[in-house]
Amino acid sequence: MVEQKRFALFLAALDSEFVKKTYGGYHNVFVSTFGDEGEQWDSFRVVSGEFPDEKDLDKYDGFVISGSVHDAFENYDWILKLCDLVKKIDQMKKKILGICFGHQIIARVRGGTVGRARKGPELKLGDITIVKDAIKPGSYFGDEVPETIAIIKCHQDEVLVLPETAKVLAYSANYEVEMFSIEDHLFCIQGHPEYNKEILFHLVDRVLGQGLVPQEFADAAKATMEKRGADRKLWEKICKNFLKGMQSSD
């Protein structure tokens, strides 16, 4: 009998009413993207101070850190506790997939620098350019490594200085570090492979309603998805391959 794979999801954001009503919460959004039948996925709402016991970390095959409205360079108690936990998981060489805020937290823990995005925030569908020399065919990217991948972006911060041992896997016109890896067990993505058009439009409407962005910004964000979508199936494959045992990009 094959042993059941078990993963932990560190949720650094609260569920909006829209996400609860439409998907039953962000837990379901992530598991429907990265999970497979027969696996166990446990969620910990780290933003609310909910963490696994350190003695239980070894039970997990991998971890995912979500995005957040918070900045990864802040020093709230829960963020500092998350950083300590990531350090321990890193020392155990367990796999961690960092998404947006999670991408930045891993950079911070490993000695990089995170700060406000130098070219401003992003809320849109955008293309990131793959550093093909950094990725070996047959890695978790598969046999055919694409030139670019479309992904939904929603962030106001960025990795300004990479950790020494990190390898950039993708960049874009505005951001030097869209994706990076460290050794075989840390894989970090600035964009949101789990987001779809519906979630993006909800976020756009929310920040517009809060007066955080002008109407032109909101219209431009929605226009990016008028004629195409994110490469969600490809992202799903890449992230699943990473979490579940394919070789790294090295």
Beta strands in the chain (DSSP E): 6-10, 40-44, 62-65, 95-99, 113-116, 122-130, 148-155, 157-161, 167-171, 179-182, 186-189
Q: The tokens of 64 are what?
A: 């995912």
Structural contact between residues 46 and 77, judged by C-beta atoms closer than 8 angstroms? no
Residue of 122, 158, 178, 194 with catalytic role? 194
What does the alpha-carbon distance between residue 61 and residue 245 come to, in Å, rounded to a whole number? 9
Please say if 154 is a catalytic residue.
no
Question: Which residue in 27, 100, 155, 185 is the catalytic one?
Answer: 100
Catalytic (active site) residue 83 = no
- Considering the candidates 103, 155, 192, 239, report the single residue annotated as catalytic: 192
E strands, 100-232, are: 113-116, 122-130, 148-155, 157-161, 167-171, 179-182, 186-189
147 has catalytic annotation: no
Burial of 118 (0-12, 13-18, 19+ CB in 10 A): exposed
State the amino acid at position 246 in one-letter form: M
Show which residues are catalytic.
100, 192, 194
